[in-house]
Each structure stands twice: as C-alpha cells, then as structure tokens.
Amino acid sequence: MVVGPRSPSVVSVVSSTCNAFHVPHVETSWSTVGASGVGSEGRLYSLNVFPHPDVMSRAYLDLVLKKNRWKSVTVIYEDSEYG
C-alpha cells in the first residue's frame, strides 16, 4: 500500500503506477483529480480520504447561511499559482 504523496502535483503519477501494479493507494492531500474516490477516472486502486470539493463547498455554504441566517454570500477567490 502507498500512502501519499503530500504534493498534489505528483498524485496522478503515483496513482497511475499503483493502478498498473495493482497496489492500493491512499491519497492524503486535497485534490480535484479523482476526488470522488475509488474507481474515479479509471483509478481503481486509489482512494482519496478528503471529501469531494463540491460536497465541501455545499457544506460550508449551508453552515454559513443557516447558522447566521444570511440570505446571500459572496465568494472572493484568488489563484496565486497563476498570478
């Protein structure tokens, strides 16, 4: 079994290698690639222990709106990787 890697940029290589050799792979970093878990995108031996980003986004939104009784929310996002 392979646990990791910590760097999301290497996940696809590790996952592909594990799939080729039928080795279980547990992803330990947040990733949109294969985030839905076992069998995602042909990755039969990989499991991401983090919830899918869509599920987390909805949970955060529900928490904020219900707890504070807000009617709307605005998301401000910056992708520093691309400037």
**Domain total in the chain:** 1
List the structure tokens of 82: 């691309």
| pLDDT tens for the 83 residues of the chain, in order | 999 888 878 888 998 899 999 999 998 877 665 444 444 556 788 888 888 888 888 898 888 888 888 888 887 887 777 65
The DSSP H or E segment spanning 56 is helix 53-68
| Full residue range of the structural domain in which residue 57 is found | 2-82
pTM exceeds 0.75:
no
What's the CA gap between 29 and 32, in Å, rounded?
10
